[in-house]
Amino acid sequence: MVSGSNDSQTPPIVSLTAGGVAGGIEAFTSYPLEFAKTRVQLRSQKGIPTPKNPFLVVTQVYQKEGLRALYKGCSALVVGSIAKDGVRFLFFDQIKASFADPETGTLSPLRNLAAGMTAGVVASITAVTPSERIKTALIDDARNEKRFRSGLHATRVIWQEHGIFGLYRGFAGTTLKQASATAFRMGTYNILKDYEINRDIPQNTLVNFANGSVAGVVTTLATQPFDVIKTRSQSAHGASTMEAVKSVLLDYGVRGFWKGTTMRLGRTVFSGGILFTSYEAAVKIINPLYSGFTHKIGAEAA
């Protein structure tokens, strides 16, 4: 479990399931802000300025295109988030055990970050890059050509036109973002929780939410350039990582790498709280069920 060093190791299946449940809830509830952030980071259409206020983007899209438009690409992100966060929590829980100090069993802040970084790389390879590619392509396509009917249709078209590499377009930017984001998100949350446990601060829903929100702020500010590059790489037509970097510099200069920060902060503060609160709650529900099941199987085998 993403928890203080005083806690016992959570079974892998519990980490995977609880992480997947938390990821799905977090992705769905915060998707309109993710949609707004992605729209701003994609290249603006000629003569149509893109507002910087995330709530204004959401309002405009809702008024012009309806509620369904705000959830364009949501299914791809939810499916990807279930896999991504299941994998992230699973690997973080397992990796941090091997990163722990052999004498004390605790993790230093640096080792927390290293464990999170490793989990982020694994998540990017197994789930995040393809799901983010589909989500971004759907959002970009919806304002231009409108070729894609659904996430599944977009996957088929991209596969037919570009093969598996088309689904992994933006892999470098996504992996850099995931490695750094998971390092900061998981690491910051764990550092805060360890600090609180060592000072006997009770762990409840409010504390979990606050820790997750702080972790979201730290993560956003530290990783925004990678997110901008990833979004440009994964537009409907796609671009290499270097092409994406050049296009951002040409359009906005260095400041462009922090484009969409306000919108992403609006999402990550909220989603960070939701993600970790949901995870802790899911673990509390699933752990006893899993323990009861394994004890029953053990008793029958005996």
pLDDT tens digits for range 48-58: 666 666 678 78
Q: For the purposes of burial, counting CB atoms within 10 Å of the CB of 7, is it exposed (0-12), middle (13-18) or buried (19 or more)?
A: middle
Query: Average pLDDT, whole number, for the chain?
Result: 83
What the block records as the tokens of 187 is 């690491």
- The C-alpha angle 126, 18, 222, rounded to 5 degrees, equals 60
Expressed in percent and rounded to 5, the helix, strand and coil fractions of the chain are: 80, 0, 20
Give how far the C-alpha of residue 5 lies from the chain's centroid of Cα atoms, to the nearest Å. Answer: 24
* Cα dihedral across residues 212, 216, 222, 227: positive or negative: positive
Count of CB atoms situated within 10 Å of the CB of 257:
18
Q: Evaluate the CA torsion angle 86, 87, 90, 92 in order and state its sign.
A: negative
Query: What confidence score (pLDDT) does residue 45 get?
Result: 59
- Please report the pLDDT score of residue 152 as a whole number: 84
105 versus 116: which is more confidently predicted? Answer: 116
Q: Closest Cα partner for 54 from 260, 257, 268?
A: 260
pLDDT tens track for 6-60? 445 788 999 999 999 999 999 998 888 778 777 776 756 555 666 666 678 788 8
Cα separation, 242 vs 132, in Å, equals: 18
Under 8 Å between Cβ of 46 and 150: no
Q: What is the pLDDT of residue 23?
A: 93
pLDDT at 50: 63
User: Number of C-alpha atoms within 13 angstroms, CB side, residue 238?
Assistant: 19
- Distances in Å between the Cα of 45 and the Cα atoms of 39, 101, 199, 246, 252 are 10, 53, 53, 18, 14
Could you tell me what percent of the chain has a pLDDT over 90?
20
Report DSSP letters for 208-232, one per residue. Answer: HHHHHHHHHHHHHHHHHHHHHHHHH
pLDDT of 281 strictly over 90: yes
Residues in the chain: 302
